[in-house]
Amino acid sequence: MFESLSEKLQDAFRKLSSKGRISESDINRTLREVRLALLGADVNYGVVRDFTRRIGERAVGAEVARSLTPAQTVIKIVHQELVTLLGAPGRLDLGGKPPAAIMLVGLYGSGKTTTAAKLAVHLRRTGQRPLLVAADTHRPAAISQLVTLGRQIDVPVYSEGDRPQPPVSGISGLRPPTASSICANALKHARREGYTVAVFDSAGRLQIDDDMMGELDKIRQAIKPQEVLLVADAMTGQEAVAVAEEFNRRVGLTGLILTKVDGDARGGAALSIRAVTGVPIKFMGVGERTSDLEVFYPDRLASRILGMGDVLTLIERAEGAFSQEQALKMGEKLRTASFTLEDFVDQLQTVKKMGPLGELLGMIPGLQQFAKELPAGATERGLIVTEAIINSMTRQERHSPTIINASRKRRIAKGSGTSIQQVNQLLRQFTQMQQMIKQLQSGRGRGIMSLLR
């Protein structure tokens, strides 16, 4: 989402870094480029004006003049102001007597139901026992969608479906359950069954109206949620900011979840929404998988935008993809130099769970430019080819690649839909990797290997 903005900002700072000394005119020229980059990214005009004014006041002052590295000091100031603009880190309020109630609100199509499942996965990963509640009585497929998602992630879903309720006094016939009654019953059920958190998926509309707000207000009174989180589509740009303002005014929000942050939108909503609404961003949806929900850390996002990488998020993704048992097993194989092609393909499959390789490379400081220069999907295609070649080998060949002769290579290439040259390249790279592992076992690498023990 921030690729275009990041490129423009880095280009502006690259020009500044090429100068030994920085004058006030240099700073003003850089600020003008920063301003144009932010406006081009669809950031709110008032936010851009205040942001660049604060940077200018600090950059023109003594803070930069006294610095031995003025260009780096300006970049540091921009990073600090970006962090301030984005607000505090997202933290859920799960205090009080369990179960804590989290109410998701938003317009139709913003991804509330999918986000509810993602949030449940995140909560379980942090040691909670979540319950999903299907409270959308307007969209016919909403309940079945949440039930299906709950089954996929192994999280229970409370649903009353179209179960009729007793008639109201003076009115004959049965009536369908209301959203507020479903939520109240779900909270009682969660308390009785020992769930620690209940996530309520409320109904959305194509636009904000009084009926929707009235229903949300009834739900809020029925469950008294600790958190009311707006699920906003980052792809809608400044419209997401307007929606957040209106929801906050009429319902009262405690936080925001931005979805589709991995899309090709310009990023203005993410940079504007906190400053305009005053409501903190708590999570970002970064993909379609149920694990693709990241806690919002303003300093990490600011570092990504300025091309400084994001090693902490990379580590967290690795911890989520690799189990402790896998890590110990792999450490043992590295120490004993018994790493095989079978292990290699297992590692490739695990790395793919962490997200697109281009995105992962962009999180490593110094590799952002390399990641941008790669053709779209090149790294993913490379993984697919590698995996296909290894899967076309026999078990014996994976464990002892030295037995792979010319006829075996022809069979492997034919079976994987690749060329003999590609098979040779993979075998050569694997041999080089094995040699590196053996070097680590030698005297030169003993100090490094001691860290693995």
pLDDT at 322: 55
Same domain, 319 and 421: yes
Residue 376 sits in a domain whose CATH number is 1.10.260.30
pLDDT at 29: 86
Same domain, 210 and 281: yes
Same domain, 428 and 398: yes
* Rounded (5°) CA angle 329-332-336: 145
- Three-state SS for the chain is CCHHHHHHHHHHHHHHHCCCCCCHHHHHHHHHHHHHHHHHCCCCHHHHHHHHHHHHHHHCCHHHHCCCCHHHHHHHHHHHHHHHHHCCCCCCCCCCCCCEEEEEECCCCCCHHHHHHHHHHHHHHCCCCEEEEEECCCCCCHHHHHHHHHHHHCCCEECCCCCCECCCCCCCCCECCCHHHHHHHHHHHHHHHCCCEEEEEECCCCCCCHHHHHHHHHHHHHHCCCEEEEEEEHHHCHHHHHHHHHHHHHCCCCEEEEECCCCCCCCHHHHHHHHHHCCCEEEEECCCCCCCEEECCHHHHHHHHCCCCCHHHHHHHHHHHCCHHHHHHHHHHHHCCCCCHHHHHHHHHHHHCCCCHHHHHHCCCCCHHHHHHCCCCHHHHHHHHHHHHHHCCCHHHHHCHHHCCHHHHHHHHHHHCCCHHHHHHHHHHHHHHHHHHHHHHCHHHHHHHHHHC
Given the structure tokens 């109201």, which residue do they identify? 168
For the chain, what is the domain count? 3
pLDDT at 294: 85
pLDDT at 369: 54
Asked if residue 94 is part of any domain, the answer here is no
pLDDT at 104: 93
Same domain, 64 and 119: no
Strands 100-105 and 293-295: unpaired
pLDDT at 69: 67
Q: Under a CB-based contact definition with an 8 Å cutoff, are residues 199 and 120 in contact?
A: yes
pLDDT at 358: 57
pLDDT at 315: 56
pLDDT at 444: 46
pLDDT at 323: 59
**Angstrom distance (rounded) from CA 87 to CA 299:** 9
Query: CA dihedral defined by 227, 232, 234, 236, rounded to 10 degrees?
Result: -160
pLDDT at 450: 42
pLDDT at 105: 92
User: Taking Cα atoms as reference points, which of 314, 322, 406, 391 lies closest to residue 360?
Assistant: 314
Q: Which domain holds residue 341?
A: 315-452
Give the type of residue at 128: Q
Which of 281, 307, 333 is the last residue before a domain boundary? 307
Same domain, 82 and 143: no
Same domain, 122 and 69: no
Same domain, 34 and 72: yes
Which of 307, 335, 358 is the last residue before a domain boundary? 307
pLDDT < 50 regions, the chain: 162-173, 310, 367, 370-371, 374-378, 443-453
Same domain, 277 and 191: yes
